């Protein structure tokens, strides 16, 4: 598997924190991949073969520290929701490791995961769809208590009332017997949050919790969530496409593009000194409220690439306004490409092409550029070799963005 470019890390005075075991780490993710199989033709399905995979999460590594709010920011289709659901065990990881409070959870069965559900919960994006319209607010919020055998009867009703009061649905008696259709959008989301915290979790995955709400109530919901974080000692993974709310809400921000983290750092550093062109593009996309100010828009061109065949090298380079010819070239990708070509060649052809490259091990070193060490006197042999490889398979993803 070719090595993917590593995420840029904004300076936060905590070098090595992502790689060193730490008691403050609640969630540790290493090399996580979540691939969805693509349904092929009838013949392929009959033979049990997959037509390919959508690489929703592709080699992600990060740490989530106790008590912090980590923002996961990216466009639609970047894989941020899949990452959150994989963390919760709602989607199975294809590869990699997730350690929750020191426990490896990727290999756990549903039965083993069930006790952990009390410790990690999710706030869904759409409050209108995440509440059962046939259940009262008391039934919806208290359902988790019944499932886990925590409370029932009068005790359950008291717990629900206390939780509704905690999220600002007061007096709770006025909301207990109501149905979701009787509530406003903001009230529904408060009920969804109440359902998430009633089991006293330590981790809350908030999947775009305010994107479906009116602008007038978004700030109030975020303020409520910050207040709950302080009162209940919660840790948040905040999933959003909106960098403006992430700046207000998050301690750190991870920028996700096409299933990979391209930059991670403290919120202030991401805003004041972004490193990756994609991060800069997201910041430029934030609307400017002052009509007298002109902001250069230099936004990414084109659409997000197909996640089943992502570009090699920097995955953003086909859309990047700052891309150079070398951005699509990764040395390990080139090494794999050449070795695959040579495996199919006759001995004489292999020896002739192999002689052009002095030390193949150099190509195994991660780099943002291809630097081919050609033999002296080879002249344009290396360039001719690369052109021959490109002509042989012009659709190879390696060549995307390389002119």
Query: Average of pLDDT values for 128-138?
Result: 95
Angle at 20 between CA 17 and CA 26, to 5 degrees: 75
What is the distance between the alpha carbons of residues 96 and 29, in angstroms, rounded to a whole number? 8
Counting residues of the chain whose pLDDT is more than 90, the rounded percentage is: 52
Residue 217 has pLDDT above 80, yes or no: yes
What is the greatest pairwise CA distance in the chain? 88
Task: Compare 303 and 70 and report the one with higher pLDDT.
Answer: 70
Sheet holding 103-104, edge to edge: 53-65, 25-37, 95-100, 103-104
What is the distance between the alpha carbons of residues 107 and 247, in angstroms, rounded to a whole number? 35
Quote the pLDDT of residue 119: 96
* Listed residue (119, 113, 104) closest to 66, CA to CA: 119
Q: How far is CA 303 from each of CA 262, 276, 306, 318, 398, rounded to the nearest angstrom?
A: 18, 18, 9, 9, 18
Angle at 376 between CA 375 and CA 381, to 5 degrees: 60
Cα 4 → chain centroid: 15
Query: Average of pLDDT values for 19-40?
Result: 83
Sheet holding 8-9, edge to edge: 8-9, 260-266, 252-257, 69-73, 235-240, 203-207, 120-123
Quote the pLDDT of residue 351: 84
Quote the pLDDT of residue 11: 43
Q: Which residue has the tokens 């059962």?
A: 132
Instruction: Tell me the fold of 1-66+74-110+238-323.
Output: Rossmann fold (3.40.50)
Quote the pLDDT of residue 327: 66
Quote the pLDDT of residue 317: 74
Query: Average of pLDDT values for 30-55?
Result: 78
Domain range summary for the chain, segments of one domain joined by +: 1-66+74-110+238-323, 326-399
Q: How far is CA 33 from each of CA 4, 129, 348, rounded to the nearest angstrom?
A: 12, 28, 40
Q: What is the DSSP string of 251-292?
A: SEEEEEETTEEEEEEEHHHHHHS--SHHHHHHHHTS--S-TT
Quote the pLDDT of residue 167: 97
pLDDT tier at 157, thresholds 50, 70, 90: very high
How do residues 337-391 score in pLDDT, each as one tens digit?
778 888 888 888 888 877 776 555 545 444 333 444 444 444 456 667 777 777 7
For 382, phi then psi, to 5°, come to -65, -45
């Amino acid at each position: 598997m070719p090595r993917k470019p590593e995420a840029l890390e904004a300076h936060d005075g905590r070098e090595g924190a992502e790689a060193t075991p730490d008691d403050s780490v609640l969630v540790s993710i290493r090399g996580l991949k979540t691939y969805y199989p693509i349904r092929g033709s009838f013949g392929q399905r009959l033979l049990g073969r997959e037509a390919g995979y959508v690489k929703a999460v592709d080699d992600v590594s990060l740490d989530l520290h106790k008590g912090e709010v980590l923002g996961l920011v990216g466009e639609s289709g970047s894989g941020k929701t899949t990452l959150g659901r994989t963390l919760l065990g709602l989607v199975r990881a294809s590869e990699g490791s997730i350690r929750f409070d020191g426990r490896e959870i990727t290999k756990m069965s549903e039965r083993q995961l069930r006790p952990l559900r009390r410790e990690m919960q999710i706030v869904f994006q759409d409050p209108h769809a995440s509440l059962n319209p046939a259940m009262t607010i008391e039934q919806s919020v208290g359902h988790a208590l019944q499932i886990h055998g925590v409370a029932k009867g009068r005790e359950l009703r008291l717990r629900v009332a206390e939780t509704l009061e905690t999220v600002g649905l007061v007096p709770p008696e006025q909301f207990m017997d109501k149905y979701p259709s009787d509530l406003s959008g903001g009230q529904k989301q408060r009920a969804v949050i109440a359902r998430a915290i009633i089991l006293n979790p330590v981790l809350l995955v908030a999947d775009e919790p305010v994107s479906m709400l009116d602008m007038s109530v978004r700030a109030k919901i975020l303020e409520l969530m910050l207040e709950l974080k302080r009162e209940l000692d919660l840790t948040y993974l905040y999933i959003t496409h909106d960098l403006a709310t992430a700046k207000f809400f998050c301690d750190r921000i991870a920028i996700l593009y096409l299933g990979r983290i391209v930059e991670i750092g403290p919120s202030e550093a991401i805003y004041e000194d972004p490193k990756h062109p994609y991060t800069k593009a997201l910041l430029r996309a934030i609307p400017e409220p002052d009509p007298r100010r002109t902001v250069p828009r230099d936004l990414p061109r084109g659409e997000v690439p197909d996640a089943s065949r992502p570009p090699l090298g920097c995955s953003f380079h086909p859309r990047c306004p700052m891309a150079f010819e070398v951005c699509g070239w990764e040395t390990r990708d080139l090494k794999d490409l050449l070795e695959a070509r040579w495996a199919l060649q006759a001995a004489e052809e292999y020896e002739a092409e192999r002689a052009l490259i002095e030390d193949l091990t150099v190509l195994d070193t991660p780099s943002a550029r291809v630097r081919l060490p050609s033999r002296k006197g080879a002249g344009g042999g290396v360039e001719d070799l690369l052109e021959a490889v490109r002509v042989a398979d012009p659709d190879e993803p390696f060549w995307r963005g390389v002119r």
